[in-house]
Structure 1
Amino acid sequence: MTDAELQRSCHTVFPGHRARTPAQMFAAMSVWCEQHGVEHDVYGSGATIQAFEDKIARLLGFEAAVFCVTGTMTQVTALRLGCDDKGSPLVALHPTSHIIVHERSNYQLLGHFQALQVGDRHRPWTVADLAAVPDRLGAVSMEMPMREIGGQNPAWDELKAIKEHCRLRNVHLHMDGARLWECAAAYGKPLPEIAAGFDSVYVSMYKGIGGLGGAVLAGSREFVARAAEWFRREGGNVIHRTPYVVAAAMQFDERLQAMPAYFARTVWLYDLLRDYPQLKVNPSAPQANMLHLHLPVSRERVLDIRDQLAREHGIWLFGRAQHAALPDTSYVEIYVGDNLLSADDAAVRRALDLFTTALNT
């Protein structure tokens, strides 16, 4: 049985949103298309996609936005253009940046830009981290929140200081906002205020939103037009983007409206986890509706426990597990979405009781 099949067999699921089968997703998309009179775009031109791009731009406080089929293409293109504008090929990246960790050196092998790893891999950036760089930077890329360290964000005053630092030094400031929607509730700030001071912002249409895939890049009208042209040159100009846009647009408002509830449920989960001291939580207080649990067993052992609880008790606690720094330790990620929001409190506690008992055996 695959992980996906094992998860679907469970009645108590911790991470993420309720998964739809392809048939369920396509049926919902069909209904939405009928209700809204959707016509296919043709190479990115069409009423539905352009209205959605305009909506994202307004929501973030930018002049324009453009849909792209992958975040990987979106980000390195935005950073390369930012470097071109500023006359320096150097980009500051956090050591846990998605570009470094997951994108197989694309920026380097494809000649997009040159990267400097800046800051401590276990902490969000401070303005002092950037000020310590002696080189003239073309761009800085900030992930918000930072997935690889449990969804951490810089403190609000630190974020403002970083924005001002980049402005004064004429550096293009780009946001990897794959999970930007998850930041707003934690900061208690509106999205345009969070995005203000950034020159470009990338947001995902499938992570917290739950679409089929794709991304949107927001910025000035001139910058977005140049990025759109480069997406075409790089092979991103598929004839119909409609399926991706519809899958995101049909649930976009509902997902954004639920973000405060997801964060409140995360705060509740943190309170509950105090009763389980062997589960070490990172960050120590919630900064988004996600977290890492550091565990006193190996990655292989914790995956065995996960599968055992799924088979015997119908409980699915997490997806992937990662090796941690110390031998025979690991950590897992929990994204708090529809599943935990709707789970019975007693069922969540029972699941944690069973999990910690298994960790001790």
Structure 2
Amino acid sequence: MTDAELFQQCHTVLPGHRARTPAQMFAAMAAWCEDNRVAHDVYGNGALIEAFEQKIADLLGLEAAVFCISGTMAQVTALRLACEDRASRLVALHPTSHIIVHEKSNYQLLGHFHALQTGDRHRPWSSADLRAIPDRLGAVAMEIPMRDIGGQNPPWEELEAIKAHCRTRNAHLHMDGARLWEAAAGYQRPLREIAAGFDSVYVSLYKGIGGLGGAMLAGRRAFVERAAEWFRREGGNVIHRSPYVVAAAMQFDARLAAMPHYFRRTEWLYGVLRDYPAIGVNPARPQANMLHLHLPVARERALAIRDRIAHEHQIWLFGRAAHGALPESSVVELYVGENLAALPDQRVRDSVELLARALAGR
């Protein structure tokens, strides 16, 4: 049985949001379009997309925003333009940056910029990490929160120090805000306060929002307009962006309003996990509604446990598993969203108990 088939048979799913079938998603989109008299945009020109772009910009306290078909295209383009503006092709990136880890060396193979890895891969950046770089930087790209280390964020004072350092150094500060919506609840600060001091911000329209795909790049109007032109040159000139915009816009406000609840549910989950010391949790305290579980079994064993519990109990504990740094260890990600928030407390406890017993070989 495939992973997808196992997942489909589960009545209890811990991570993420409720999965809609294409038919359910398209029906909801059609009804929303009917209610709001939505017309297609044409190459990005249209009432809905332009209003939604401005809504994102206003939320972030920035002048303008533009839709892009993917964050992968949006980020490297923004950083290349930032480097051109400052006559330096050097971009400081954390070792766990999405650009380095997940984007197949696009920045290098396509000649966008030169990447300089800095900082400890297990910790968020500090301003000291950036001060230690002797080179003239064109840009600094910072992920908030940092997904590959469990959703960690630098302390607020450190984030402010990083912003001040980039201003002093005249380095373009870019935010990989794929999960910025989640970080706001952890920081307990408005989105525009977090974004203040960043020269550009990328946000996802599908990760925490649950849309079909797509991204927004926000910043100064002139910068955003240049980026939009490059998106067209790079093959991102989709004739109708309305399916992506509708899928995000129709649930955007509700998703943002739910983020504090998801964060409180994450805090509650930490209390449950404290009863199972064999399951390591990173970070030590929640900083967004996501976390990593470090399991004392090899990756293959972790996946076998997941599949057995799904088959026998119809409970889906987690998605992918990664090899841990130590032998016979593995790491899984848990995103606390609509699913776990809606589950009864006891069912969540029982699910964690099943995992703990399986890890112990019982």
TM-score normalised by L of structure 1 = 0.99
1:242-321 to 2 correspondences below 5 Å: 242-321=242-321
CA drift at 1:72: 0.2
Question: In structure 1, the residue corresponding to 2:306 is in which secondary structure?
Answer: helix
Question: In structure 2, the residue corresponding to 1:151 is in which secondary structure?
Answer: coil
1:53-68 to 2 correspondences below 5 Å: 53-68=53-68
Code of the residue aligned with 1:55 in structure 2: it is: K
Q: Where does the alignment leave 5 or more consecutive residues of structure 1 unmatched?
A: none
Code of the residue aligned with 1:287 in structure 2: it is: Q
1:100-111 to 2 correspondences below 5 Å: 100-111=100-111
Alpha-carbon distance in 2 for matches of 1:52, 1:106: 29
Find out whether 1:42 has 2:23 as its counterpart. Answer: no
CA drift at 1:10: 1.0
Instruction: String of CA shifts for 1:34-85, please: whole Å, max 9, x gaps.
Output: 0111111111111110010010000100110000001000000010011111
CA drift at 1:7: 1.5
CA drift at 1:8: 2.2
Say what the alpha-carbon RMSD is for the aligned residues.
Answer: 0.5
Alpha-carbon distance in 2 for matches of 1:261, 1:308: 31
CA drift at 1:86: 1.1
Alpha-carbon distance in 2 for matches of 1:351, 1:188: 30
Alpha-carbon distance in 2 for matches of 1:271, 1:4: 30
Alpha-carbon distance in 1 for matches of 2:292, 2:144: 16
Match of 1:208 in 2: 208
Aligned residues: 361
Q: Aligned residues: percent identity? A: 75
CA drift at 1:342: 0.4
Match of 2:351 in 1: 351
Find out whether 1:325 has 2:308 as its counterpart. Answer: no
CA drift at 1:5: 2.5
Match of 1:25 in 2: 25
Alpha-carbon distance in 1 for matches of 2:279, 2:73: 37
Alpha-carbon distance in 2 for matches of 1:197, 1:86: 17
CA drift at 1:300: 0.2
Match of 2:85 in 1: 85
Code of the residue aligned with 2:164 in structure 1: it is: E
Question: In structure 1, the residue corresponding to 2:211 is in which secondary structure?
Answer: coil
Question: In structure 1, the residue corresponding to 2:341 is in which secondary structure?
Answer: helix
Alpha-carbon distance in 2 for matches of 1:184, 1:26: 29
Instruction: String of CA shifts for 1:235-266, please: whole Å, max 9, x gaps.
Output: 00011111000000000000000000000000
Match of 2:142 in 1: 142
Q: Where does the alignment leave 5 or more consecutive residues of structure 2 unmatched?
A: none
Regions of 4+ moved over 6 Å? none
Alpha-carbon distance in 2 for matches of 1:155, 1:199: 20
CA drift at 1:32: 0.4
Alpha-carbon distance in 1 for matches of 2:266, 2:11: 20
Alpha-carbon distance in 2 for matches of 1:250, 1:123: 36
Code of the residue aligned with 1:244 in structure 2: it is: Y
Question: In structure 1, the residue corresponding to 2:192 is in which secondary structure?
Answer: helix
Instruction: String of CA shifts for 1:20-40, please: whole Å, max 9, x gaps.
Output: 000000000000000111111
CA drift at 1:4: 2.4
Match of 1:234 in 2: 234
CA drift at 1:158: 0.1
Question: In structure 2, the residue corresponding to 1:216 is in which secondary structure?
Answer: strand
Alpha-carbon distance in 2 for matches of 1:3, 1:32: 32
TM-score normalised by L of structure 2 = 0.99
